[in-house]
Amino acid sequence: MTLLFAIGNSQRGDDGVASEVCAMVGKGDWKIIETMELMPEMADHVAGAERLVFIDADYRGGEPSISPLSPVACHPGPMTHSMRPCDLVAVARRLYGFKGPAWQLRVPGTDFGLGSPLSGTARTNARLAAGLLSGLLLRDKSVEPSCQGNDGAA
The pLDDT score that the predictor gives to residue 144 is 46
The pLDDT score that the predictor gives to residue 70 is 80
The pLDDT score that the predictor gives to residue 154 is 38
The pLDDT score that the predictor gives to residue 86 is 92
Domain 2-138, classified CATH 3.40.190.80, yes or no: no
> Domain ranges in the chain?
2-138
- Show the beta-strand stretches assigned E in 2-123: 2-7, 30-35, 51-58, 65-68, 102-108
Summarised one tens digit per residue, pLDDT across range 42-52 is: 999 999 999 99
CB atoms within 10 A of CB 87: 21
The pair phi, psi for residue 40, each rounded to 5°, is -55, -30
Summarised one tens digit per residue, pLDDT across range 141-154 is: 544 443 333 334 33
Q: Extract the residue ranges of the chain whose pLDDT is less than 70.
A: 71-81, 140-154
Angle at 146 between CA 32 and CA 28, to 5 degrees: 25
